Chain A
Amino acid sequence: MPDDQSFDLAGCLGRVRQRDQTAARELVEHLHPLVIRIVRAHLPRRVSEEDLAQDIFLKMFTRIDQYQGAVPFTHWVSRIAVTTCIDQLRAQKRRPELRWADLSERETDVLDSAITNENDVAPDEALAARELVQKLLGQLKPEDRMVIQYLDLDQKSIAEISQLTGWNKTLVKVRAFRARRKLQRFYRELTEKEHA
């Protein structure tokens, strides 16, 4: 895990730069949880998470000599992961419109419950809620989707998002504002069409 204090990251990086393949394997294993969390949060449709994680690690190794230590290594890797995911999402270009008919029965139940109930959605509907949120986020532009994912689902602060993405705080705030507005529109359209 990247939080593991016992892992000698600096030593490992030094050995990777000297082309030590064992050190490279250790580095991949150490960073895999961090990278796979980002990949799973931003995984484009029809892309294997393992393939995307592999692309991210290969980019990391290609650029590893450029890492100067200005930011923590995990932040540097996060930025590579984030930009790789955004590039993949951009490559898909078209985001098909989400309709009520596209939702599973559980997802429609969750949505109904979120709209009509004053109480929280039932705990056993958490998985369906996550699927539904991901489908709604899939309607947004990659950068907007990423901001909402970090803010609302991962509950990260503006400063943390800025560190993870490399975007300045103002840009994060502006993107969050626009993304929320678009998301509200998609959300309203989806629910109004059904309840019209």
Chain B
Amino acid sequence: MAYPYSHPSEVRILSKYFGDPEARTLKGWEARGGYQGLRKALGMERGDVVNEVKTSGLRGRGGAGFPTGVKWSFMPKDSGKPHFLLCNADESEPGTFKDRELMRWTPHQLIEGCLIGAYAIQASHAYIYIRGEFFEPAQILARAIEEAYAAGYAGKDVIGSGVTLDITLHLGAGAYICGEETGLMNSLEGRRGEPRVKPPFPAVSGAFAKPTTINNVETLCTVPHILTNGGAWYRQWGTEKSTGTKLFCVSGHIARPGNYEMPLGFNFKEFLYDVCGGIPNDRKLKAVIPGGSSVPIMAADEIDVPMDYEGFVAAGTMLGAGSVIVMDETTDIIRQVGRMVDFYSHESCGQCTPCREGTTWASKIYRRIRAGFGTEDDLQTLLDISDNMTGKTICVLSDSCAAPIVSSIQKFRDEYLAVVERSEPVVAEIA
């Protein structure tokens, strides 16, 4: 059974077995070359495993894009304390749906990555923090973890190496902020998922006040392939600074939504129009968000850029988690940005005043504008609030709320003005 819409420009490494139910089972995964990376890693020094990942140039796929090997090398050597590896499977950035597919189709790929990662950072216990809504992926992963334990890939004396690697699946309970790494650690510890002030950084004092590394699902899924084939092999795709392949989740007004595994550096315009089939119903593109709701919006004339960490930054936005949200010419930008602001207002944990108040004010202003009671001054007020929400809080949730506000006012100011100058209130439109 082929995964629908495979495109010749794709390079399917992580997503090769999407759509293949056999790959979910331990037997099926072993038959597809699974657990070779773990065997190889356990035969290497821990430092060499880290170096192999450094060589590959793999960067964190959760949004920040920090080099994974470098992150691992921050873990203290011989600290005498237990270390922990946390896998961030709290995928909840609007527009993102790659981790869910990775977990439901290839659970063993993630387990193998967690085991290798835990070994590399001298952890004997890895926790996979999966968001509470993902019952189905959690059940698939649970079954796979039980299989891995039964086959001796996890637990004491992993495949005869003498190394202990435990793995525990932990279900969240519905909070976007738990995808922030320190919020996730608090949630794992049985606290409210409120982000912590850094420093101390997780590598010094993370989960249970022990040295901790947190990696995204996609990052860890890539690790077994790097170990099996070598770091240099992975560099054959992508660019010098953005190596390898990345899953892009495409949603919104697009002919073929879904997950596409593309070599980094691929042209974004070609991606949207050729690989994903363009905008349906003969409509024109209006705007696109390239990395999930937290990154600045791009206007239609800005999309001729390479899809890599640097390319999107040069275009004034970010690669983020690779969550491409496409909006056609019929889209009401104010309504959609307002909806994103509502989301951040709902998900703010409330610790920091600029975020707790700012997201709520912004949400109210958007509702007022849409109801027809907006004024031109509201635009400046939104920009002022956004300024106060950027770089002034413990985590970046409020920055994420400000990004679409500021970029949409910059790029679609005329549309805002047309609405605030509208003479009659349109109360019925309030969502």
> Do these two chains really belong together in a complex?
no
Interface residues of A (CB under 8 A from B): none
